[in-house]
A and B are shown apart, each in its own frame.
Chain A
């Protein structure tokens, strides 16, 4: 593209990853120039994380090849990636709190004689690397005394001093304050000056324009473009590349929505939420759409009483939000994001899972009626067409879609009037997705209110009657769904582009 032609530090060629029934990454080719900040963007499910997993050796590609510094690169585990000069900064931090900064920096690379640690140039090198990228961190401080942002910088320094030529950062600003983000950016720029290449993954488009030299856009597993950021006209162009024109409008206005408010939330505020207010009507499907960290899960958990927030939540005229037990009793049920760990008892049968939230209905005088439990299980397995040969099958043996249906059945059996669905179709195959959407619509038609918390635009545009757009803990805009809703402007709002001109 330009006059000088340095060989790319990393090149992927025809990279493809197939999962049963899904092609997560489809023939992706691009290259990353040395000493640049190369951004990777795309919607949820675009294939970014699968691509990163292949780069770090966590996954093997189905086909295609990668080259680092011109030589073939085939990592089969994270230490291969390290040896190849590729380090990754994960969202969860991998530092040892109990050791000092310097001990963390040399961890695993120490020089020793007969098992005894010996002083070496390594100690000087790591201290110098750290001083070069962030002089305010004392190498002799214990890591437990550092803030999250500083721990992150310690990890970056470790990657840099281990000789990594490429550092992959996956949403590194998710847990940082604005001030800390600025500091991280300064660190990243200093890395670039030190000839380290950074692959930067973020949903926040502003960050990308601020920091990036080049950007690669993925959509539906395919490579859309790799461009210099100076050649990208602006947010609008980037957003258009991210969503294309492929968002299908499958939404049909529903006639069963009422004006009767069942839930009203006023001024919900917590560490993450900023003065969130909204209401949900009976028989309505409401969407909360935002990116990772925008506050979706926090709102869901607050409504369910799992986390305490300030502000008021009134459900059918009563104040709720104090405990999950109270929420269930008044008719609110939550289908959590982490289905396997929070929503399902994987070591119990389908029958036992369905009855677990409402055992009172199945017992009289403290005696449990198994026959009714069996009948209920059979009823819901049929109603939600859960694919199983027996209600005695363990939940862990079911596919993701069927597991999610069991969680839904559990909530339905609890006679919920308001269903909170946090990422209801994550990890669910396409067929089951459609079925789950149908179930949600049927429920709403029958008078149940549903709140869908999702980071998939297609999902909220497909089923929700009204959509609240979230960005960094506050409601930026409310959209009434319909054929004239513009996905690009929605994406603009949730990536921090301001609330104006949505409809």
Chain B
């Protein structure tokens, strides 16, 4: 395959056509999928189902509604991508999100002002991420096992905090949620979209820059691509991985805040299944399960697709089919991801 004269300069040696196709697919297919999903949902006239009373899919209020609901997943997608690029995974994100939601709601209902409640919840996220990072990066426990354990632990704590017989922290019994609690996730502040959505956008922008412009982004790719090479180059992979878990923890806390304020309650089960959605979104965005490869922005688009589909599905298929559909989509994403990787390896 190598056919190089010694004279030619500035040409990658063995880039074949198949390689270009695979790269192109990996880079851009997500945008085509987004367009396709929007077109299909627009054509499948949702009006007929009389569920939204908002007319066509492309109706502004419908779009705003979808983006509002999407905020938690959009917040999570970028950090989860970076973690998977480094070859690791966090199954506890859903529980971390639930716990953060409960803590945030508890603080709010007990009169703690917005910024303090927000800050404390983020610190909780730092702590939860640090625990995962400690177990995985320091103690070298297999990521799936370690975060499966914390999935159970974090959820357990969240349930304990809501122990007085009610199912969630919400207004009632003499206490009531302050007004700002709900408006963070629902009330439009810019082009009709709430704070929670703009925080998700901000987080994504920060992580896109981190991926392209910082040592963290490069070292995450090196750690996931070839851990031995990374270590031999003097990179402290333990620290990189720990840091990435903390970032995922913070994102989970932000996602929990977004979810609880959208629902106006602190539900200890609100993050259930979020780890699957996050994996789905990241795989859909073309991130390699084996690490090394993946883009923050593509996962963000992947999250938009999933949320559009989820909301669209509400009108098309009964709710109890949704988990099955989610699983099937995950299978399809994983399979196509695997096929693209294999094509890249082969060429």
Q: Count how many pairs of residues, one from A and one from B, have CB atoms less than 8 Å apart in the complex.
A: 98
* Residues A95 and B226 in contact in the complex (CB < 8 Å), given A147-B2, A180-B2: yes
A112 CA to B9 CA, complexed, in Å:
29
Min CB distance, B341 to chain A, in Å? 10
Complex interface bits, B200-219 against A, C-beta within 8 A gives 1, otherwise 0 = 00000000000001111010
Q: Give chain A interface residues in 83-119, CB to chain B under 8 Å.
A: 94-99, 103, 107-110, 112, 115-117
Q: Are B9 and A136 in contact (CB under 8 A)?
A: yes
Q: Contacts A144-B344, A150-B13; is A99 near B1 (CB within 8 Å)?
A: no
A150: B residues at CB distance < 8 A: 2, 13-14
Query: Which size class do A's interface residues fall under?
Result: 20 to 34
A117 near B218 with CB under 8 A, answer yes
Q: Does B228 contact A (CB under 8 A)?
A: yes
Chain B residue at minimal CB-CB distance from A140: B12
**Are A145 and B19 closer than 8 Å at their CB atoms?**
yes
Name which of B32-40, B99-107, B134-142, B229-237 contacts chain A: B229-237
CB distance from B309 to the nearest CB of A (A): 29
Residues of chain A within 8 A (CB-CB) of B4 are 136
Chain B proximity of A88: nearest CB distance (Å): 9
Contacts of B13 in A (CB 8 A): 136-138, 141, 145-147, 150
B47 CB → nearest A CB, Å = 46
Bound: A98/B293 CA distance, A: 6
Nearest to A112 among chain B residues (CB) is: B215
Whether A149 is near chain B, meaning CB under 8 Å from some CB there, is yes
A210 interface hit (Cβ, 8 Å):
no
Q: How far is the CA of A137 from the CA of B6 in the complex (A)?
A: 10
A351 within 8 A of B: no
- In the complex, 9 of the A-B residue pairs with CB atoms within 8 angstroms, ordered by the A residue number, are A94-B229, A96-B225, A107-B222, A110-B215, A117-B218, A136-B6, A136-B8, A136-B9, A186-B6
Which parts of B103-129 form the interface with A (CB within 8 Å)? none
Give B19's nearest chain A residue, CB to CB: A145
In angstroms, Cα B20 to Cα A306, docked, is 34
Q: Tell me which residues across on chain A come within 8 A of B12, comparing CB atoms.
A: 137-138, 140-141, 145-146
> Binary interface profile of B, 25-37, with partner A (CB < 8 Å = 1, else 0)?
0000000000000
Does B292 count as interface, using CB distance less than 8 angstroms? yes
B151 to chain A, nearest CB (A): 28
Cβ of A79 within 8 Å of any chain B Cβ, yes or no, is yes
Q: Which residues in chain B, 291-320, are within 8 Å of chain A measured between CB atoms?
A: 292-293
Per the bound structure, the CA–CA distance linking A265 and B294 in Å amounts to 48
| Cβ–Cβ contact A108 & B226, under 8 A | no
If over half of B's interface residues share one DSSP class (helix, strand or loop), that class is named, otherwise mixed; here it is loop
Decide yes or no whether B15 CB sits under 8 A from chain A.
yes
Of listed B13, B216, B228, B292, residue having the most chain A CB within 10 A: B13
Q: Contact check: which of B1, B221, B222 meets A147 at CB < 8 Å?
A: B1
Which residues of A have CB within 8 Å of B288?
98
Whether A94 and B213, one on each chain, are in contact in the complex, defined by CB atoms closer than 8 angstroms, is: no
In the assembled complex, A72 has its CB within 8 A of some CB on chain B: no
Tell yes or no: B323 within 8 A of A by CB: no
* Measured CA separation A110–B215 after assembly (Å): 8
With contacts A108-B235, A137-B13, A146-B13 known, what are 12 further pairs, Cβ within 8 A?
A96-B225, A98-B293, A99-B225, A108-B233, A112-B214, A115-B214, A116-B213, A117-B215, A136-B5, A136-B9, A136-B13, A186-B6
- The A318-375 residues at the B interface (CB cut-off 8 A) are none
B59 is an interface residue with CB less than 8 A from chain A: no
State in angstroms the CA–CA spacing of A116 and B6 once bound together: 36
In the complex, the chain B residue whose C-beta lies closest to that of A118 is B213
Selected from B15, B226, B234, the residue in CB contact (under 8 A) with A96 is B226
Which residues of chain B are near A141, meaning CB under 8 Å? 12-13, 15
Asked if B14 and A98 make an inter-chain contact with CB atoms under 8 angstroms apart, the answer reads no
Whether a CB of chain B sits under 8 angstroms from the CB of A14 is no
Binary contact track B55-82/A, C-beta < 8 Å → 1, others 0: 0000000000000000000000000000
**Closest 5 A/B residue pairs (Cβ):** A108-B233, A141-B12, A98-B292, A94-B229, A96-B225
Taking the nearest CB of chain A, how far is it from the CB of B251, in angstroms?
Answer: 18
The verdict on B224 contacting chain A, using a C-beta distance below 8 Å, is yes
Whole-angstrom CA separation of A400 from B194 in the bound complex: 67
**Option from A78, A110, A179 in Cβ contact (under 8 Å) with B218:** A110
Q: Which residues of B contact A96 (CB under 8 A)?
A: 221-222, 225-226, 229-230, 292
Which residues from chain A contact B5 at a C-beta distance below 8 Å?
136
**Closest partner residue, chain B, to A145 (CB atom):** B15
Complex alpha-carbon distance, A98 and B11, angstroms: 18
Contact A99 B222 (CB under 8 A): yes
Partner of A99 from the list B6, B11, B218, B344 (CB cut-off 8 Å) is B218
Which one of B215, B218, B232, B293 contacts A94 once the chains associate, using CB atoms below 8 Å?
B232
Q: A348 vs B11: C-alpha distance in the bound complex, in angstroms? A: 53
- A78 and B228 CA atoms in complex are apart in Å by 12
Q: How far is the CA of A112 from the CA of B235 in the complex (A)?
A: 14
C-alpha spacing A180/B3, complex, angstroms: 10
Q: State which of A97, A107, A115, A180 has its C-beta within 8 Å of the C-beta of B233.
A: A107
A234 on the B face (CB < 8 A): no
Minimum distance in angstroms from A270 CB to a CB of chain B: 18
Contacts of B9 in A (CB 8 A): 131, 135-136
Does A82 interact with chain B (Cβ within 8 Å)? yes
When the two chains form their complex, are residues B215 and A107 in contact, meaning their CB atoms are under 8 A apart? no
Q: Which residue of A lies closest to B235 (CB)?
A: A108
Within the complex, which residue of A109, A136, A146 is in contact with B11, where a contact is CB–CB below 8 Å?
A: A136
The proximity string for A residues 378-393 relative to B, scoring 1 for CB distances below 8 Å and 0 otherwise, is: 0000000000000000
Which of A96, A109, A112, A147 counts the most B-chain CB atoms under 10 A from its CB?
A96
- Proximity bits, A392-425, B CB within 8 Å = 1, else 0: 0000000000000000000000000000000000
B210 (CB) vs chain A CBs: closest residue: A115
Which residue on chain B has the smallest CB distance to residue A150?
Answer: B13
Contacts of A140 in B (CB 8 A): 12
Closest approach, in angstroms, between the C-beta of B234 and any C-beta of chain A?
4
User: How distant is A187 from chain B, measured CB to nearest CB, in Å?
Assistant: 11
Closest B residue to A177 using CB positions:
B2
Residues of B within 8 A of A99 (CB): 218, 221-222, 225
Determine if A146 and B14 form an interchain contact, defined as CB atoms under 8 angstroms apart: yes
Q: How far is the CB of B200 from chain A (nearest CB, A)?
A: 23
Contact string against B for A residues 49-89, beta-carbon threshold 8 Å, 1 for contact and 0 otherwise: 00000000000000000000000000000110010000000
Nearest residue (CB) in A for B4 is A136
> B228 contacts which chain A residues (CB < 8 A)?
94
| In the complex, residue of chain B having the shortest beta-carbon distance to the beta carbon of A147 | B2
CB closest chain-B residue, reference A149: B2
Closest-CB distance, A95 to chain B (whole angstroms): 6
